Amino acid sequence: MGKALILTRLKLAKFHELFFRIKNKLNIMRKHIILPILVFVCLFFAQAAKSQDLYNFNLYMQNFYLYNPAYTVESPNMSVFLNSHLQWIGFEGAPKTSTFGFRTPIKKNMGLGVYLQNSTQGVSGMFTGRLSYGYRANLGDEHYLNFGLAMGAVNDRLLNERLQNVDLTDSKVATDYYNSTTFNASGGVGYFFKGLEAQFILPQLFEKSRTNMYAIGILAYNYEASSIIDLKPLVLVRGVRTAPVQFDAGLTATWRKTIWGSATYRSNNGLIFGVGANFFGLNLGYAYQADNKTIRAAEDGTHEIQLIYTLGKLKFNRTKSIPINLTVKSVVDAAGLVSEVKVTNAAGEEVSTSQTNEAGLLSLSLKQGQAYTLTVTAVDYFGHLEQVTIAAEELSRNIDVVLTPIHAAVTGKVTRIDNNSAVETDVEIWEAETTIANLHANSGQGIFATKLKSGKTFIMKINDKRFLPFTQTFTIPERATNYSVPAAVLTPYVTISGTLKSKTDNSLLTGTVSLSKSGAVVQTVNTTGNYSFTIEKGAKYELEFKAAEHIGKKTVHNLTTVTKYEITNNVVLEKMAKGAFTLGTINFKSGTAELTEESYETLDKLVEILSDNPDLKIEIAGHTDSDGAEVGNQKISQLRAQACVDYAVNKGIKAERMKAIGFGETKPLVPNNSPENKAKNRRVEFKFID
């Protein structure tokens, strides 16, 4: 410690010369031989000092202010310390250093300190006095930078009592260097994040009228190994551009924030062990350094003791409490809310918990210059955090807090797709697999209303026998106060209804009506003259009507596209004739069996009857008048009946369901005695057969 603090500028030649002059004056007396040896040793360490720390402390892990003026502002407490470093005990003229320090915060982010140090080594001594200033720049939670600068003076001197046999008038000894006072400065910076500490220090920023390139770097981490054990590993690197780098690697363990121990390896110097305790604001520590083999035989190690006394936290400003008028309202109607208000300070400590009155009013008392968090909660409302910082000069404050209800006011409307009219119906609201609300859309506007939690997803279901089942998913935005569910547009079932009557007398018929889809019968109902079916759109349907003694009929309804949801389908059935009957006019080209176009309408009626009644079979009979030969008439009548069969076959009727027969002139209806009667006898008749 402190070796070569004064003799840095002495040259090797001067000390050799001084050594021989002292030796000659004492006539090489053995009892004084120690003096030149001591001078030589001091010279050696003065040269070696270029690669070593001039303030090589062993308890700096407990007091970084020994090195770094940035620690002037590290603690919010005032503290004072004493450090005594005795190097190489048993070695005459070995370095001894006594250090006194005092530091105090002057603001939350500023501090001042005093640093006094007295060092002796060999025949030289040095006294250092500095004032330090520290500043903290906050970067975040447990995240900041400290900057420090120390400035003062250094007094170098020779220790006359150790040079009793030296001619102090010698110009080589009595120089200004050994009794001078010069300006001194050091600087440092510290980076802190959670438990991490990183430092960079220039302990000889300016000394003896020059700037030195001597630097120290420190990296440490404060780690809570358990609820009772704290660990602090550390690495220190020191160096100068003219010498090899030296480093420390150490670990400090503290038990219950009270008892601590440390072990450090120092390159080229050996091992350092320390113990200490913190109690009643006192930190007492002791360190022992087992030096390297080079000098171990000539000394009893290096010892260091340190005492730090820490006072309580300083209060820089006298703060007073100011009234805070808090109002808590609902965002829906601005009505006051009964709420609980919890106040915590910047350290997270609870200051108070109180409740607003029915009007939502509360009076608080908070201190100037402090930051607070107000946690406001009310039943069925989202909580609110209000960050409040009270300025030092502030006298009062009004705070309005608006809370958002957990449940949003939800409305919806039900209409039908065909005419957009309102639908009165029941509405179910589901959340996941659970029904949480059974609602009713009113008859006037089809509107329903309820309250549901915001930020949630729900399912609306409507099951009304008049309409297709309806399902819709909707999500209410977070913290929404009002929400309109997208309109539920219902698609009605298609209703086909009508009457079944006889063409003979327009009376209602008793029979059956069958509904088919894609050729398969879906439903058959008995009817006494009225029928009705409710079906889904999107397909082609067929209705088949049957009644006793009547010719059945089919109607086809294509519902792939629907614009009308109520369809009226009245059906009239032809009464089934018991004998021969005609359906209308059937004509042929003269003298041939070729049908004329006016005959198609009548034959289409035949095809329709046979199509609607797949079990019917029919006889088609051809007749002529008496003109011409009987044989020829019979042949032409047969051909004409067959032409009708062929027409029906071409329309999809199976041939085996029809029988063609020609009767010629053998079955006249009336005598062939006039053109009119002959026209009546030229005919085609139909008769149902088994």
pTM: 0.43
β pairing state of 470-475 and 457-462: antiparallel
Report pLDDT for 24: 46
DSSP 39: H
| Confidence label for 207 from pLDDT (cuts 50, 70 and 90) | low
Report pLDDT for 140: 81
pLDDT at 29 over 60: no
| Confidence label for 293 from pLDDT (cuts 50, 70 and 90) | low
Query: Mean pLDDT across the stretch 13-25?
Result: 41
pLDDT tens for each residue of 602-639: 899 889 888 888 888 999 999 998 888 889 999 999 99
Phi, psi of 115 (to 5 degrees): -130, 115
Phi, psi of 632 (to 5 degrees): -65, -40
| Percent of the chain surpassing pLDDT 90 | 53
CATH no. for 407-490 = 2.60.40.2190
Q: Do domains 321-403 and 407-490 have the same CATH topology?
A: yes
pLDDT at 508 over 70: yes
pLDDT at 14 over 50: no
Beta bridge partners of 622: 662, 684
Average pLDDT of the chain is 84
Answer with the residue of higher pLDDT: 133 or 90: 133
| Confidence label for 466 from pLDDT (cuts 50, 70 and 90) | confident
User: What is the distance between the alpha carbons of residues 657 and 616, in angstroms, rounded to a whole number?
Assistant: 7
pLDDT tens for each residue of 350-398: 999 999 999 999 999 999 889 999 999 999 999 999 999 999 888 899 9
What homologous superfamily is domain 321-403 in, according to CATH?
Immunoglobulins (2.60.40.10)
pLDDT tens for each residue of 91-126: 777 889 999 999 999 888 899 999 999 998 877 888
Report pLDDT for 52: 38
User: What is the distance between the alpha carbons of residues 614 and 635, in angstroms, rounded to a whole number?
Assistant: 30
Answer with the residue of higher pLDDT: 647 or 519: 647
User: What is the distance between the alpha carbons of residues 596 and 590, in angstroms, rounded to a whole number?
Assistant: 10
Report pLDDT for 321: 87
Please identify, in words, the CATH class of the domain defined by 7-313: mainly beta
Answer with the residue of higher pLDDT: 476 or 140: 476
Report pLDDT for 639: 94
Handedness of CA 84, 87, 89, 90 (dihedral sign): negative
User: What is the distance between the alpha carbons of residues 54 and 60, in angstroms, rounded to a whole number?
Assistant: 14
Residues composing the chain: 690
pLDDT at 90 over 80: no
Report pLDDT for 628: 87
CATH no. for 494-575 = 2.60.40.2190
C-alpha distances out from residue 281 to 16, 234, 308, 312, 313, Å: 51, 24, 8, 8, 12
Token pair, residue 418, equals 């065909």
156 CB-near residues (< 8 Å, 6+ apart):
5, 6, 124, 125, 126, 177, 178, 179, 180, 181, 182
β pairing state of 246-255 and 259-266: antiparallel
Answer with the residue of higher pLDDT: 441 or 2: 441
pLDDT at 76 over 90: no
Query: Where in the chain are the domains?
Result: 7-313, 321-403, 407-490, 494-575, 597-689
**Window from 45-54, 408-417, 474-483, 610-619 with minimum mean pLDDT:** 45-54
442 CB-near residues (< 8 Å, 6+ apart):
424, 448
Report pLDDT for 19: 39
pLDDT tens for each residue of 371-383: 999 999 999 999 9
Q: Does domain 597-689 have CATH number 3.30.1330.60?
A: yes
| Confidence label for 18 from pLDDT (cuts 50, 70 and 90) | very low
Beta bridge partners of 97: 85, 119
